[in-house]
A and B are shown apart, each in its own frame.
Chain A
Amino acid sequence: MDNKKKNQWKAWLYLAPTVVLLLIFTVWPMINTLRMSVLEGYDSLKEIGGASFSFGFDNFKQIVEFYRFKDCMLTTILLTFITVPVSTLLALVIAVALNSIKFVKKTLQTIFFLPYVTNTIAIGMVFMAMFNRIPVGDTYSYGIINNIIQAFGGEPVNWINGGSSYWANIAVVSVYIIWNALPFKILVLLGGLQGVNKQYYDAAKVDGTSRFRTFWRITVPLLSPMIAYVVITGFIGGFKEYSSVLGIFGPSMGPGNHEMDTMVGLIYESVSEQQGQASAAALILFVIIFAVTMINMYVSKKKVHY
């Protein structure tokens, strides 16, 4: 007993640096967010100056009624529900393909992993250049995507510049997010694939299973824990999307004025003026992410075979 107590004391000592840092930078901000969101008209500077705020849910009401809140929410949800399924499916296909080739595997793996180690803002600028349209005299100079469209005889599209449509913007940001999300997903799924016993495929081959059926009935179920992980983290990441829009459009968060703003973007913008409202928005986002994750877990419990 004595020994155990002693060891516990030591254990806490060893954990102390981590625990202290977590308390300061993770636990306290979380609690503080909750506190700030329920204090009406909260302002940290005023608080330091000695002002007190009354308790209430005014912050929630104001942020929900804020004229851009609905658009931000819609954009965030749209981006998430477009990119997560597409990128997961793509990653699965690429991982299976990568797993079945032998020779240039390492090289291809490196290539597919590149987006992961590249700076988000840098990628954003490259995407901007690819989709851009710059006025030159009477006509425009187009980025490479429009050049390709023209080469196939199509009309150039105004993707991201002034006057571009909402859906064109969504498309560009989606492509960006999907491309950026692929490497991590491929990595996880490829790792899972390499752990699958090859005999399952031999057995399927002997039974004359078609490739498609082998994929859906054997590969996907055996990979389902990894797929569930990738989907859940994908949804969480999707709801927190911000840097992609910033990378492509810059601080204007859209071709003109905040057309492509996301929830995190909204929180970021309101932090300087309305800290209480920003906290409220963050809490709303948290509740949504929590709910979606719960749904994901519930579905995966039924479909995932560990």
Chain B
Amino acid sequence: MKVVLQNITKIFPSRNKKTKDEVIAVNDFNFEIPDGKLVCLLGPSGCGKSTTLYMISGLQAPTSGKIFFGEDDVTKLSPENRGIGLVFQNYALYPHMTVQQNILFPLQNFKGENRLSKEVMLKRANEAAKLVQIEEYMNRKPAELSGGQQQRVAIARALVKMPRVLLLDEPLSNLDARLRLQTREEIRRIQRSTQITTIFVTHDQEEAMSISDYIVIMKLGVIMQTGKPQNVYDDPANLFVAKFLGAPPINVFSGKVENGKLYVGEEAVLDVKGVEDQEVYVGIRPEGFKLDKDGKLSVKVTGVDVMGRDISVVSTSESSLNPVVRSIISADEMGNISGDVAKFNLKEHKVFIFNKETEERVRFGKQVAAHQKIVEEMEAEGQSYVVHNGPLPREADDVAKESVLPEPPKNVFVRAFLAVKNFFIKVGEFFKKLFKKKDENKEEADATPTEEVKTETVDEIKSEEVKTEAVDEIKIEEVKTEEVSEKPKKSAKKPAKTDNEG
């Protein structure tokens, strides 16, 4: 079952009505998750990855946009009708039930024709337990299990009703390092054997790289780049992606391109023919250094970390934006480092240059062809290659201002309360005006403060109108959501564009 997200936007209304600080958690998210694949949503905290997951699950409703499972539009379906399995970060296993009862619980909810006999339920629970290898613990309570075992019970509970889509929200973050490694392989194995389309949310790039078929890297609610993990690592589309992927992280220098040569500081380190002269950031993967007596990039060595097969040379450079430069070279070459200064030549495919203003990738030499190949490969698989360049829409305030949508209050009590409140606001407004008129008569001199007050009241009245509409007519809400779904497109001058050229 493929999952298609179309122009998904989620805006959380501000809590404080005076400051109006709405949060656009997810901004115009377009992506197709192919059938039977494992896709990771990856990004720093607050990038909207969990929100996206919860919108797919149906626990949260998108402000605008559409979600399809296969050909079915599920945007308005409630979670239970979507056929999803969801694994929570804290597992949310019912503490008062045994493992078996926990796994049986979703099956016991089936009603009418779908109702299963007791034997079938038990059989399916046992199958699910066997799949995640917890069949020995069926009679234990969750508290009597280790973190990894609880995790597996949670997955079994999600799988037992044979969901169309399996959703995992940071499933490994509560496990210790070793268990994490083991469990992620387990998840991979389970996903392979069940062939269920799986969406996995994490902030750990290593986790994402190791188990997913595709990764989606997000920042501030926007997709920064999509693709196969290796391809994204080898061909980052912008500085953010380059910095986010890879451990140890990429080394970033500030430099420039002049007459077809790439300079880091004063040193010309690479030939980059065909690239226009510009100020750039130079990203060099730690494995992109070759030790060479006549090397073009020189750095001050401050230490060497021995890691067995490889060594990591820790050094500093004036042009580096990171506090230290890390270069990983073969341990055999350790003897070649002598003195304070190390000289390196660079591997061309491990060096990425980014325009200093837009932070957009500038490809040179063989990189252009390599990029072309990656894009073609993805298109052949029916995947769209999505990258985002330029400023993030959330940083440009105009989007936030134009797409303000008052969250329609659902509760009857809340509506009644708002109606009463609005009435009082209007009464208050009336009295304010009355008193203001009196004041004006008294003190005719001061004109400026009254003007300010007037504009305020106009604003307030406007917001009231919006509110009362939301309170009075439910139908209007639907119309509005459609309107708003179009608005961000118009207003965001640089939306996430599909980049096929390179």
Q: Which of A133-141, A209-217, A251-259 contacts B (4 or more CB under 8 A)?
A: A209-217
Complex interface bits, A182-218 against B, C-beta within 8 A gives 1, otherwise 0:
0000000000000001011011011111100100011
Residues of A close to B95: CB separation below 8 A: 222, 305
- Report whether A202 and B96 are in contact in the complex, using a CB–CB cutoff of 8 Å: no
- Report whether B59 and A103 are in contact in the complex, using a CB–CB cutoff of 8 Å: no
Residues of A close to B94: CB separation below 8 A: 200, 203, 217-218, 221-222
- Report whether A222 and B96 are in contact in the complex, using a CB–CB cutoff of 8 Å: yes
Question: Closest residue to A209 on the B side, CB-wise?
Answer: B109
Question: Closest residue to A105 on the B side, CB-wise?
Answer: B413
Q: Which of B10-18, B64-72, B78-86, B248-256 contacts A (4 or more CB under 8 A)?
A: B78-86
Closest chain-B Cβ to A62's Cβ sits at a distance in Å of 50
The B51-108 residues at the A interface (CB cut-off 8 A) are: 57-59, 78-81, 84-86, 88, 90, 92, 94-97, 105-106
- Report whether A200 and B414 are in contact in the complex, using a CB–CB cutoff of 8 Å: no
Q: Does A102 contact B (CB under 8 A)?
A: yes
Question: Closest residue to A213 on the B side, CB-wise?
Answer: B109
Residues of B close to A202: CB separation below 8 A: 59, 86, 88, 92
- Report whether B161 and A207 are in contact in the complex, using a CB–CB cutoff of 8 Å: yes
Q: Does A31 contact B (CB under 8 A)?
A: no
> Among the interface residues A101, A102, A199, which one has the most CB atoms of the partner chain B within 10 A?
A199
CA distance A102 to B412 in the complex (A): 11
Closest chain-B Cβ to A83's Cβ sits at a distance in Å of 28
- Report whether A103 and B80 are in contact in the complex, using a CB–CB cutoff of 8 Å: no
Residues of A close to B105: CB separation below 8 A: 207, 209, 217
CA distance A206 to B167 in the complex (A): 11
Residues of A close to B85: CB separation below 8 A: 206
Question: Closest residue to B57 on the A side, CB-wise?
Answer: A206
- Report whether B109 and A197 are in contact in the complex, using a CB–CB cutoff of 8 Å: no
Q: Does A21 contact B (CB under 8 A)?
A: no
The B107-145 residues at the A interface (CB cut-off 8 A) are: 109-111
Residues of B close to A103: CB separation below 8 A: 411, 413-414, 417
> Among the interface residues A199, A203, A222, A224, which one has the most CB atoms of the partner chain B within 10 A?
A203
Closest chain-A Cβ to B107's Cβ sits at a distance in Å of 9
Question: Of the candidates A205, A221, A305, which one forms a contact with B80 in the assembled complex, judged by CB atoms under 8 Å apart?
Answer: A205
A-B contact count (CB 8 A): 66
Residues of B close to A203: CB separation below 8 A: 86, 88, 92, 94
Question: Of the candidates A101, A197, A210, which one forms a contact with B90 in the assembled complex, judged by CB atoms under 8 Å apart?
Answer: A197
Residues of B close to A200: CB separation below 8 A: 92, 94
Q: Does A104 contact B (CB under 8 A)?
A: yes
> Among the interface residues B86, B92, B110, which one has the most CB atoms of the partner chain A within 10 A?
B92
Question: Closest residue to A205 on the B side, CB-wise?
Answer: B79
The verdict on A104 contacting B417 (CB below 8 Å), with A199-B90, A206-B59 known, is yes
- Report whether B57 and A104 are in contact in the complex, using a CB–CB cutoff of 8 Å: no
Residues of B close to A218: CB separation below 8 A: 94
- Report whether B80 and A207 are in contact in the complex, using a CB–CB cutoff of 8 Å: yes
CA distance A262 to B78 in the complex (A): 54
- Report whether A205 and B59 are in contact in the complex, using a CB–CB cutoff of 8 Å: yes
Residues of B close to A221: CB separation below 8 A: 94, 96-97
- Report whether B88 and A102 are in contact in the complex, using a CB–CB cutoff of 8 Å: no
The B380-433 residues at the A interface (CB cut-off 8 A) are: 411, 413-414, 417
- Report whether B414 and A102 are in contact in the complex, using a CB–CB cutoff of 8 Å: yes
- Chain A at the B interface: SS class: helix
Tell me how many residues of B have a C-beta within 8 Å of chain A.
27
CA distance A47 to B155 in the complex (A): 75
CA distance A217 to B58 in the complex (A): 22
> Among the interface residues B57, B59, B109, which one has the most CB atoms of the partner chain A within 10 A?
B109
Residues of A close to B417: CB separation below 8 A: 103-104
Closest chain-A Cβ to B174's Cβ sits at a distance in Å of 13
CA distance A270 to B23 in the complex (A): 71
- Report whether A208 and B109 are in contact in the complex, using a CB–CB cutoff of 8 Å: yes
- Report whether B79 and A210 are in contact in the complex, using a CB–CB cutoff of 8 Å: no
CA distance A206 to B85 in the complex (A): 7
Closest chain-B Cβ to A126's Cβ sits at a distance in Å of 28
Closest chain-A Cβ to B425's Cβ sits at a distance in Å of 16
- Report whether B59 and A207 are in contact in the complex, using a CB–CB cutoff of 8 Å: no
- Report whether A101 and B411 are in contact in the complex, using a CB–CB cutoff of 8 Å: yes
- Report whether A206 and B80 are in contact in the complex, using a CB–CB cutoff of 8 Å: yes
Residues of A close to B109: CB separation below 8 A: 207-210, 213
The A252-299 residues at the B interface (CB cut-off 8 A) are: none
Question: Of the candidates B58, B88, B413, B414, which one forms a contact with A199 in the assembled complex, judged by CB atoms under 8 Å apart?
Answer: B88
> Among the interface residues A200, A206, A213, which one has the most CB atoms of the partner chain B within 10 A?
A206
Complex interface bits, A100-114 against B, C-beta within 8 A gives 1, otherwise 0:
011110000000000
CA distance A199 to B111 in the complex (A): 23
The verdict on A197 contacting B92 (CB below 8 Å), with A207-B105, A207-B106 known, is yes
Residues of B close to A210: CB separation below 8 A: 109, 111
CA distance A199 to B79 in the complex (A): 14
Residues of A close to B111: CB separation below 8 A: 210
Question: Closest residue to A198 on the B side, CB-wise?
Answer: B92
- Report whether B86 and A208 are in contact in the complex, using a CB–CB cutoff of 8 Å: no
- Report whether B414 and A208 are in contact in the complex, using a CB–CB cutoff of 8 Å: no
Residues of B close to A224: CB separation below 8 A: 96
The A206-259 residues at the B interface (CB cut-off 8 A) are: 206-210, 213, 217-218, 221-222, 224
The A108-166 residues at the B interface (CB cut-off 8 A) are: none
CA distance A4 to B362 in the complex (A): 75
Closest chain-B Cβ to A15's Cβ sits at a distance in Å of 36
Residues of A close to B81: CB separation below 8 A: 208
CA distance A205 to B58 in the complex (A): 10
- Report whether B80 and A199 are in contact in the complex, using a CB–CB cutoff of 8 Å: no
Question: Closest residue to A101 on the B side, CB-wise?
Answer: B413
Closest chain-A Cβ to B280's Cβ sits at a distance in Å of 46
Residues of A close to B90: CB separation below 8 A: 197, 199
CA distance A205 to B94 in the complex (A): 13
Closest chain-B Cβ to A13's Cβ sits at a distance in Å of 42
Residues of B close to A222: CB separation below 8 A: 94-96
CA distance A205 to B57 in the complex (A): 10
CA distance A224 to B88 in the complex (A): 24
CA distance A305 to B96 in the complex (A): 6
Question: Closest residue to B86 on the A side, CB-wise?
Answer: A206
Question: Of the candidates B84, B110, B411, which one forms a contact with A206 in the assembled complex, judged by CB atoms under 8 Å apart?
Answer: B84
Residues of A close to B84: CB separation below 8 A: 206
**Interchain residue pairs with CB less than 8 A apart (28):** A101-B413, A102-B411, A103-B411, A103-B413, A104-B417, A197-B90, A199-B90, A199-B92, A202-B88, A203-B86, A203-B94, A205-B79, A205-B80, A206-B59, A207-B80, A207-B105, A208-B79, A208-B80, A208-B81, A208-B106, A208-B109, A209-B80, A209-B109, A210-B109, A213-B109, A221-B94, A221-B96, A222-B95
Q: Beyond A200-B92, A210-B111, A217-B105, list 11 extra A-B contacts (CB 8 Å).
A: A103-B413, A104-B417, A199-B92, A203-B88, A206-B59, A206-B84, A206-B85, A208-B110, A221-B97, A222-B94, A305-B95
Q: Give 7 nearest A-B pairs by CB, closest first.
A: A208-B80, A305-B96, A199-B92, A207-B106, A221-B96, A203-B92, A206-B79
